[in-house]
Amino acid sequence: YAYEWLPYGREVPVKVKWLTDYAEQVPRIDIDIDGGAMVEDKETYLNALITIDGAEVFPDFQDSVKIKGRGNSSWAGTWGKSPYRLKFASSVKPFGLTKGKSWVLLANRQTGSMLSNAVAMKIASMVETAGANRIIPVVLYINGMYRGSYNFTQHVGLANNSIDLEDETNAVLLELDSYFDEDYKFRSDAYDLPVNIKDPDLADYPSPDAKLTGIQDDFNNFTDVLYSGSDEYADLIDVDMFARFMLVNELVMNLELGHPKSTFLHKEDLRALHSRYIFGPV
């Protein structure tokens, strides 16, 4: 695939190989929901059985799972081509990936999106961005009904199959997102950025508001230094990882940084002076 690098007109070739290139069929996922129900919203988990036919490339797999809808602009309703969130009772290794409880089925409903996510994530892996997702192209059936071509991937979070940290006790994962739709969120003093707290779940803390204030103060310190123009910003952000993050977004012409939407960054230890913000996963 060739991508034009504007405004200079340079072309950057990207060669992508998937194991499924060598299979006669892509893997098939069957999700049979209890009672033949259908996913109706993004809040209610339904119990189901998931069966994966690995197309003789990946290991076959079967287990109980919970399923619900996900996404914002990508959510297309009950009978539309909607994305889904999958949650297992314990960590599992579908497609032989790193163990994790939470996974995602991306619908690729928008025009041109069937390859864009997969190519972007492959580039993210090649340039070694933080927590790069794996993409497995699949065909999806729910209750025996064909639902279309999907991408199976990790759910972004502080987990060993996503952002794998040595110690996540004081870690935080933030999402800059104009939907501003998490239970715990704030707007930054500098730039007025909409910041969702994705992980940890502050409801699990004895004093959620105090934890929220600590996260907000730390992020405001970072953005205030950046806004001031001081070179000290390099002590607060991993510049190398930020460059890798931006490279991927430039190559695939992702414009959502400007809203912003779905822009993730994390910090391993809010209490440690040496800990810096890392942009990613893309």
Judged by DSSP in three states, 34 sits in: helix
Rounded CA separation 69/233 (Å): 38
Rounded CA separation 174/185 (Å): 9
From its phi and psi, is residue 280 left (phi > 0), alpha (psi between -120 and 50) or beta? left
Judged by DSSP in three states, 125 sits in: helix
Rounded CA separation 119/116 (Å): 5
* Strand 28-33, strand 136-142: pairing: parallel
For the chain, the 3-state helix, strand and coil shares in percent, each to the nearest 5, are 25, 30, 45
Rounded CA separation 223/278 (Å): 14
Question: pTM score, two decimals?
Answer: 0.86
For the chain, the farthest-separated pair of C-alpha atoms sits apart, in whole angstroms, at 60
pLDDT attached to residue 74: 83
pLDDT attached to residue 113: 66
Rounded CA separation 142/82 (Å): 12
- Strand-pairing partners, residue 250, are none
pLDDT tens, 203-248?
Answer: 999 999 999 999 999 999 999 999 999 999 999 999 999 999 999 9
Rounded CA separation 215/212 (Å): 5
pLDDT attached to residue 5: 56
Cα–Cα distances (Å) from 32 to 46, 54, 121, 153, 214, in that order, read 10, 17, 29, 19, 43
Q: Which segments in the chain show pLDDT lower than 50?
A: none
- Strand-pairing partners, residue 152, are 105, 136
Nearest-5° Cα angle at 80, 78 to 84: 70
pLDDT attached to residue 9: 61
pLDDT tens, 23-32?
Answer: 567 899 999 9
Rounded CA separation 61/88 (Å): 13
